[in-house]
Amino acid sequence: MIDRRLLQHFDWLFLGLTLVIGGIGILALYSAVNANADMTEVGRLVYVKQSYWLGISSGVMILLLLFSYRWLSRMAFPIYGASIVLLLTVFFLGKEVSGSQRWLVLGPVSIQPSEMMKISLAIMLARYFSESATKDGFSLQGLWKPLIWTILPFVLILKQPDLGTGLILLLIAGSVTVFVKIERRSLLCLTAAGIAVSGMAWFFLKGYQKQRISAFLDPQGDPLGAGYHIIQSKIAVGSGLFFGKGFLKGTQNALSFIPEQHTDFIFSVLAEEWGFLGSVTIIILYLLLIIWGLSVAVRSKDPFGTVLAVGLTSMIFWQTFINVAMVLALLPVVGVPLPLISYGGSSMLANMVAIGILLNISMRRFLFKD
């Protein structure tokens, strides 16, 4: 059971903030599917399923609070290993949807192992960096293990294919690595290597991924094909003006012009119906959540807790930033969901687990031992 002293340090405000964002997501999904004339009867139930996932994920989050987060440090290798096994299992038993093999079917539900891989990687890196830190900082020799732990799941996820989730893994690892102390020469070498690899990555992308990048640079070059997503998204966002068209009154969504309106482009639905004012409000809510996550890292007196909080907060930040930038045509379409709002049980569970761990670190910040 949770000690009463721990409850005194519990961040009720930010638990409420999380649930508010999740509630906004359910409203947005209700609008996205019920205002869309082309949505099937089964498709119209996605907001109900999302409500179930929000409830289940909240229950998992509460369970995480019953145990000290330091337990995760001891279990880092088993958790990481289990995540890798699940990623490998996808290639043999995974369900294929729209050309991608990312899901494992477990009875009535489908799970996406790559979502939980984000949590596993953050835990693994937090354990290593907190236990191996030195006064002089990490050299290249000290970074080869984190590099392998990051590249292995990245390659497996890229093979599914799922470029968006793979990029989030790299960004989590990059954020944590920049946060911990690194020798200046090592940092310059890593930066140069990253730029070189990014330049060569074009030759390893699949055809549709290259089309998305080309469409980002010139949407009008293929307005009915690769550029369609970006063009329609920009129209929806712009048509919302300052106050929006109103709940369930978005015409771009109702006429099925917004692609993937309940997943990757849910922010387009929000922007059209709630306008600039509503969009900024949602971004501010995310900003508060991210600032709180960073404050958890700053207040933690435990190196493992500090690094883990940075990794999990970076996960939420990068998903939010990439999704909103993608919808606004500031980045290519890479398939990254908006945390707590886009439809997806695995995504909801992963983000709620991350927030649960952050709450755990926060409420135990005054404890020096289990």
Residue type, 132: S
- The pLDDT of residue 20: 95
Query: pLDDT by residue (tens digit) across 261-270?
Result: 778 889 988 9
- The pLDDT of residue 215: 61
pTM listed for this prediction: 0.90
- The pLDDT of residue 203: 63
Place of tokens 């690892």: 173
Question: What 8-state DSSP symbol labels residue 138?
Answer: B
Ranges of residues in the chain with a pLDDT under 70 are 1-5, 35-44, 98-99, 199-212, 214-227, 253-260, 367-370
Q: Please, are residues 214 and 221 in contact by the beta-carbon 8 Å criterion?
A: yes
- The pLDDT of residue 224: 59
The domain locations on the chain are 4-363
- The pLDDT of residue 204: 63
CA geometry: angle 231, 257, 244, nearest 5 deg: 85
Cα–Cα distance for residue pair 274/249, rounded to 1 Å: 10
Q: For residue 27, with 0-12 CB atoms within 10 Å meaning exposed, 13-18 middle and 19 or more buried, which class applies?
A: middle
DSSP 214-253: HHHH-GGGSTTTTTHHHHHHHHHHHHTTTT-S-TT--HHH
- The pLDDT of residue 11: 87
